[in-house]
């Protein structure tokens, strides 16, 4: 039997305008825990999507157990030997554990369910992994951690060769994480190889046998963990040389207090307290699950929270309608589902957040609306032949510009940007950065939430680092910023 369970040779994935996976080649040995790390945009997710059949490679070879591997959908991938644990759990809450384990593979006689040895075998696998789970229990009553274990058991019982786990510890408590690690280590004994993706570098060191680092779509290195010196080496591989454009600090330091948070808590956030001055660009950096979007939405009033948020000394309302009136606007993380009205035109989108301004006594001034749209299309360089085009037809970058226009038109003093350049081509990104700088010159204040370090470092005056819903550090930009330290902190390390 081969010692490599999976071999990837020259894998390439191109999207229009960008090469997400660039000639990646490496091997995964059998019966190990093989970790995959890299920043957002490094290409990990795309690689995984190809392995699980969610998208198609452009070219390259993948060999599983010595034979060619190709999967057109997750179901086929599973049949061929690669199972995946996604963050959205694929269990049916309304069925029992036993029923979930046998879903799709039941033994039947004339359509009636039969309890055969197959079921007993699967339950044995589950009991082996986690004896405290009662097979007759309804899955809805179980914790996320236990639901994960059920999925693992199902994959093991199906004798898959590889189980991919994508950020599995995001929703788990410490004891649950320990249990998961025990299970993963046992999987090796059962002949399963685990591909483990996580941003939490400590986990990599605890759990992993091997690690593959990707950066900018390329494969950087694959090493046994034993040969990796320490976190810093890993971090160095992940970020390479971060080129910081000349960040020019402000001439006149902003000193007037605009926004203040005191002990803000909700399902994700833990005692967040901070201050933002007028005219600053404040960055919030952290990886997936750090709580960035939750913080952005809490400030905006889109989600509930306990604690206090004050704008200009006044307590801020807890609904978007109130915060907009107070002068805040949010560019949401999910452009298509939260920021844009895809069925409607550019013109109609731009005015959506401030209909009052283009209307009088409830009657829309069509000319004013058209002029507004024309103005923003020009200002933000939105590429379209008509303002009456449905926004669903625009590219990602142009769509984002429409969302920006909408927020700008709302006449906000404080703009909250949540991952504003996600999924956008390089050219549009640069335009957005320039726009952000321009806004600050006009006296606006920006809260910039992002999981891309370079853009945070290029734009922001002050940077908050988030991890697990907490603010772990506050940095002043321009003063000896060390990217390595930053990565260290946002992956769970302690500040030095």
Partner 1 sequence: MSANCNTTNLRGVKAKRLIKQIYVYVILAIVVAVLSMLKGDLFQRGNFLFPPNIANLLRMSAPILMISSAFTLIFITGNMDLSVGSILSLTTVVNAILLLNGFSFLAAMVIVLSLGVVLGFINGFLVMKLRITPVIATLITMNAYQGLARYLVPPGISSITNTDTLTMPEWMGNFSKGQVFLGLSWAFIVAIALLIGLVILQRRTVFGKYLVAAGGNRTAAELSGINVVKVVWGVYILLGAVSALAGVARASYLLIGEPYTGTGAETEAIIACLLGGTVFSGGEGSVVKSFVGALIIVCLTFGLKSVIPEYWQMLAKGAVLVFAVVLNHLLSKETAVA
Partner 2 sequence: MSKQIEGKNLPLAGKISNESYLNRVMFLVLIALFGIASLTIGNYFSTATALNLIANNWYIVILGVGVTFLLVSGHLDMSVGGIVAMAGVLSAYFCQPANEGFSELGQGLGMPYGVAIGLTLVCCLVIGALNALFIAKMRVASIIVTLGTMSIARGVGQVAALGAQRSAGMPDIFGVIGNVPLFGPIKIAAAIAAILVIVALYIEKNTTFGRRTYLIGANREAARLSGIKVERHIALLYLLSSLLAGITGILLASEMKAGISTRGTGFEFSALVVTLLGGASIDGGVGSVLGMVIGAMILGVVSSAAYSMLLRPEWQFILKATVTFLAIIAQRYLLDRRSR
CA separation for the pair 300, 318 (Å, rounded):
7
Minimum CB distance to partner 1 smaller for 78 or for 219: 78
Q: Is the dihedral of CA 226, 230, 233, 235 positive or negative?
A: positive
Tell me which of 43, 168, 208, 339 binds partner 2, using CB under 8 A: 339
Task: Choose which of 109, 110, 243, 363 interacts with partner 2 (CB under 8 A).
Answer: 363
Residue 140 corresponds to which tokens in the numbers above?
């809805």
Q: Give whichever of 95 and 326 is closer to partner 1, judged by the CB atom.
A: 95
| Residue showing tokens 């644990």 | 85
The least distance separating partner 2 from the CB of residue 495, rounded to whole angstroms, comes to: 34
What is the smallest separation between the CB atom of 396 and partner 1, expressed in angstroms?
A: 25
Residue 271 lies near partner 1 (rule: CB under 8 A): yes
Tokens read off for 35: 């970790």
What is the nearest approach in angstroms of partner 1 to the Cβ of residue 330? 22
Q: Is 308 in the site for partner 1 (CB under 8 A)?
A: no
Interaction of residue 22 with partner 2, rule CB under 8 A: no
Q: For residue 141, state whether it binds partner 1 (rule: CB under 8 A).
A: yes
Classify 294 as helix, strand or coil. helix
395 binds partner 2, rule: CB under 8 A:
no
Quick one: which H or E segment has residue 434?
A: helix 426-441
Q: Does 451 bind partner 2 (CB under 8 A)?
A: no
Element (H, E) at 232: helix 231-239
* CA 253 and chain centroid, separation: 33
CA–CA separation, 44 and 37 (whole Å)? 7
Whole-number Å distance between alpha carbons of 154 and 436: 49
- Judged by CB under 8 A, does residue 59 bind partner 1? no
Which of partner 1, partner 2, none has residue 60 at its interface (CB below 5 to 8 Å by kind)? none
Residue 299: CB minimum distance to partner 2, A: 13
E strand or H helix at 63, and its extent?
Answer: strand 59-64
Q: Which is nearer to partner 1, 143 or 365 (CB)?
A: 143
Cα separation values, 107 from 47, 99, 143, Å: 35, 12, 28
Q: How far is the CB of 363 from partner 2 (least distance, A)?
A: 6
Binding mask 79-108 for partner 1 (x = CB under 8 A): ---------x-xxxxxx---x---xxxx-x
Sign of CA dihedral 21, 26, 30, 34: negative
CA 61 vs CA 65, 164, 425: distances in Å:
13, 19, 28
User: Cβ closer to partner 1: 90 or 348?
Assistant: 90
Residue 422: φ, ψ to 5°: -70, 135
First CA to last CA distance, the chain: 47
**Min CB(344)–partner 2 separation in Å:** 5
- Tell which one of 13, 44, 78, 292 touches partner 1 (CB under 8 A): 78
Task: Tell me how far, at minimum, the Cβ of 404 lies from partner 2, in Å.
Answer: 13
Q: Which is nearer to partner 1, 106 or 425 (CB)?
A: 106
Q: Does 306 bind partner 1 (CB under 8 A)?
A: yes
Given phi > 0 = left and psi -120 to 50 = alpha, else beta, which region is 398? Answer: alpha
Angular region, 353: left φ>0, alpha ψ -120 to 50, beta rest: alpha
Count of CB atoms situated within 10 Å of the CB of 111: 6
Select from 175-183, 239-247, 385-393, 472-480 the region that touches partner 2 (CB under 8 A): 385-393
Binding of residue 368 to partner 2 (CB under 8 A): no
Name the helix (H) or strand (E) containing 129: helix 117-129
Binding residues (CB under 8 A) for partner 1: these are: 74-75, 78, 88, 90-95, 99, 103-106, 108, 111-113, 140-143, 263, 265-267, 269-271, 305-307, 469
Binding residues (CB under 8 A) for partner 2: these are: 300, 302, 320-321, 324-325, 330, 332, 337-345, 348, 351-353, 355-356, 359, 362-364, 366, 386, 388-390, 393, 406, 410
């Amino acid at each position: 039997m081969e010692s490599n369970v999976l071999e990837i040779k020259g894998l390439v994935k191109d999207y229009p305008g960008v090469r997400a996976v660039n000639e990646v080649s490496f091997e995964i040995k059998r019966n190990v825990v093989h970790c995959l790390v890299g920043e957002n945009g490094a290409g990990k997710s795309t690689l995984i999507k190809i392995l699980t059949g969610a998208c198609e490679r452009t070219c390259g070879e993948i060999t599983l157990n010595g034979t060619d591997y190709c999967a057109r959908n997750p179901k086929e991938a599973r049949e061929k030997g690669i199972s995946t644990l996604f963050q959205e759990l694929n269990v049916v809450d309304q069925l029992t554990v036993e029923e979930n384990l046998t879903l799709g593979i039941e033994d039947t006689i004339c359509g009636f369910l039969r309890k055969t040895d197959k079921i007993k075998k699967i339950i044995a696998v589950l009991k082996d992994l986690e004896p405290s789970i009662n097979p007759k229990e309804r899955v809805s009553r179980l914790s996320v951690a236990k639901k994960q274990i059920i999925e693992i058991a199902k994959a093991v019982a199906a004798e898959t060769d590889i189980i991919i786990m994508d950020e599995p510890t995001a929703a788990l408590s410490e004891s649950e994480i320990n249990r998961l690690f025990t299970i993963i280590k046992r999987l090796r004994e059962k002949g399963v190889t685990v591909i483990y993706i996580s941003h939490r570098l400590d986990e990599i060191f605890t759990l992993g046998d091997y690690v593959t680092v990707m950066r900018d779509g390329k494969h950087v290195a694959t090493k046994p963990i034993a040969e990796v010196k320490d976190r810093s080496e890993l971090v160095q591989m992940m970020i390479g040389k971060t080129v910081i454009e000349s960040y020019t600090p402000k001439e006149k330091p902003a000193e007037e207090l605009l926004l203040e948070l005191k002990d803000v808590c909700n399902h994700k956030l833990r005692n967040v307290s901070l201050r933002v001055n007028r005219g600053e660009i404040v960055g919030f950096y952290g990886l997936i699950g750090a709580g960035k979007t939750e913080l952005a939405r809490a400030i905006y009033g889109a989600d509930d929270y306990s604690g206090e948020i004050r704008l200009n000394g006044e307590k801020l309302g807890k609904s978007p309608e109130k915060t907009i009136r107070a002068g805040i606007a949010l560019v949401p993380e999910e452009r298509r589902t939260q920021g844009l009205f895809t069925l409607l035109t550019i013109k109609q989108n731009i005015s959506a957040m401030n209909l009052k301004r283009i209307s009088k006594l409830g009657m829309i001034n069509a000319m004013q609306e058209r002029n507004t749209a024309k103005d923003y299309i020009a200002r933000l360089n939105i590429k379209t032949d008509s303002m009456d085009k449905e926004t669903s037809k625009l590219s990602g970058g142009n769509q984002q510009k429409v969302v920006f226009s909408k927020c700008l038109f709302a006449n906000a003093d404080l703009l909250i940007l949540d991952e504003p350049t996600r999924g956008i081509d390089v050219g549009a990104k640069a335009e957005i950065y320039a726009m952000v700088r321009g806004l600050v010159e006009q006296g606006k204040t920006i809260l910039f939430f992002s999981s891309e370090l370079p853009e945070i470092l290029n734009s922001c005056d002050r940077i908050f680092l988030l991890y697990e819903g907490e603010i772990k550090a506050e940095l002043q930009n321009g003063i000896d910023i060390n990217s390595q330290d930053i990565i260290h902190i946002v992956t769970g390390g302690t500040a030095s």
